[in-house]
Structure 1
Amino acid sequence: MKASLFYLPSIGSRAEIEAGMAGMRGDLYQRMLRELSEQIRLADELGYDSVSFTEHHFHIEGFEVSNNPVLLDLYFAMQTKRIRVGQLGIVLPAANPIRVAEDIAMLDHMTGGRACAGFARGYQRRWVDIMAQQAHGIHGALPNQHDEIDAANRAAFEENFRIVKKCWTEEMLTHEGKFWRIPAGPTPWALDTTEKWGKGVEGGILKAVGVVPKPLQKPHPPLFQPFASSESTIRFCAKEDVTPILPAMHPVHEEKLYSVYAEVSGRPKGAGMGVLRDVIIADTDEQAMALWRDSGQFAGRAWFEPFGFRKGLADPATGRYPTPEEIIAQGYAYVGTVDTVLRAMEASQRRQPVDWTFCYTYNALVPHDILMRSIEAFWTKVMPRFQ
Structure 2
Amino acid sequence: MAKPKVIVQLYPMFPADGDEDRKAKRPLGNDNEMYHRIVHEWTDIVKEADQMGVWGLGTIEHHFHSEGYEVGPNPGVLNAYWASIVENARVGALGYVAATHDPLRVAEETAIIDHLTKGKYFVGFARGYQSRWANIMGQWTESPATVSDGSDADDRNRQIFEERVNQVIEAWTEETVRIKGDFYEAPYPFDTGVEGYPAWEIARDAGAVGEIGDDGSVQRVCVVPKPYQKPYPPIFIAASKSQASIDFCARNNFNPTYFMPTKGVVELSHYYTKTANECGFATQLGQNQNIVRWPHITKTSADFDRKLRDYDLDIYKNFYGPFFPQFPRGNDDELIQGMKDSDIFIGGTVDESIKAWQVIYDQVPCEYITLIWHWAQQPKDDMLEELRLFMDKVLPELETPDFPQSVAAAAE
TM-score where L is the length of structure 2: 0.86
Question: In structure 1, the residue corresponding to 2:141 is in which secondary structure?
Answer: coil
* Paired position in structure 1 for 2:267: 256
Shift of 1:85: 0.8
* Paired position in structure 1 for 2:280: none
Conserved in 2, the CA contact under 8 Å of 1:12 and 1:28?
no
* Paired position in structure 1 for 2:7: 4
Conserved in 2, the CA contact under 8 Å of 1:8 and 1:66?
yes
When residues 326 and 9 of structure 1 are mapped into structure 2, their CA distance, relative to the original with a 3 A threshold, is closer
* Paired position in structure 1 for 2:305: 289
Shift of 1:69: 0.8
1:271 to 277, 280, 287: 287
2:175 is aligned with 1:197: no
Conserved in 2, the CA contact under 8 Å of 1:97 and 1:160?
yes
Which residues of 2 match residues 32-181 of structure 1 at below 5 A? 32-136=38-142, 138-143=143-148, 145-181=149-185
* CA deviation map 1:12-34 (0-9, x unaligned): 24445343311010121122112
Paired with 1:181 and 1:280, the residues of 2 have a C-alpha distance of: 46
Which residues of 2 match residues 209-228 of structure 1 at below 5 A? 209-228=221-240
When residues 277 and 309 of structure 1 are mapped into structure 2, their CA distance, relative to the original with a 3 A threshold, is farther
Shift of 1:330: 8.6
Which residues of 2 match residues 290-369 of structure 1 at below 5 A? 290-308=306-324, 310-311=326-327, 332-369=344-381
Conserved in 1, the CA contact under 8 Å of 2:257 and 2:292?
yes
Uncovered stretches (5+) of structure 2, i.e. residues with no partner: 278-282, 400-412
* Paired position in structure 2 for 1:17: 22
Conserved in 2, the CA contact under 8 Å of 1:2 and 1:49?
yes
* CA deviation map 1:128-164 (0-9, x unaligned): 111011113x110123x11110011011101111110
Shift of 1:291: 1.1
Q: Which moved more, 1:193-202 or 1:12-21?
A: 12-21
Paired with 2:382 and 2:87, the residues of 1 have a C-alpha distance of: 24
* CA deviation map 1:211-255 (0-9, x unaligned): 00001111111000123421111101111111111123262x344
When residues 309 and 79 of structure 1 are mapped into structure 2, their CA distance, relative to the original with a 3 A threshold, is farther
2:384 is aligned with 1:372: yes
When residues 250 and 324 of structure 1 are mapped into structure 2, their CA distance, relative to the original with a 3 A threshold, is farther
Shift of 1:296: 2.6
CA-based RMSD of the aligned residues comes to: 2.1
Conserved in 1, the CA contact under 8 Å of 2:100 and 2:138?
yes
Conserved in 1, the CA contact under 8 Å of 2:259 and 2:292?
yes
When residues 309 and 69 of structure 1 are mapped into structure 2, their CA distance, relative to the original with a 3 A threshold, is farther
Paired with 2:228 and 2:369, the residues of 1 have a C-alpha distance of: 26
Paired with 1:32 and 1:156, the residues of 2 have a C-alpha distance of: 34
Which amino acid letter does the alignment assign opposite residue 57 of structure 1?
H
When residues 40 and 384 of structure 1 are mapped into structure 2, their CA distance, relative to the original with a 3 A threshold, is same
Paired with 2:138 and 2:345, the residues of 1 have a C-alpha distance of: 34
Paired with 1:216 and 1:290, the residues of 2 have a C-alpha distance of: 45
Shift of 1:202: 2.2
Paired with 1:339 and 1:327, the residues of 2 have a C-alpha distance of: 19
Paired with 2:61 and 2:84, the residues of 1 have a C-alpha distance of: 20
When residues 326 and 342 of structure 1 are mapped into structure 2, their CA distance, relative to the original with a 3 A threshold, is farther
Identity %: 29
Shift of 1:7: 1.2
TM-score where L is the length of structure 1: 0.91
* Paired position in structure 2 for 1:233: 245
Conserved in 2, the CA contact under 8 Å of 1:330 and 1:348?
no
* CA deviation map 1:46-77 (0-9, x unaligned): 11000111111110010110000111112222
* CA deviation map 1:89-120 (0-9, x unaligned): 11011111111111100111112212210000
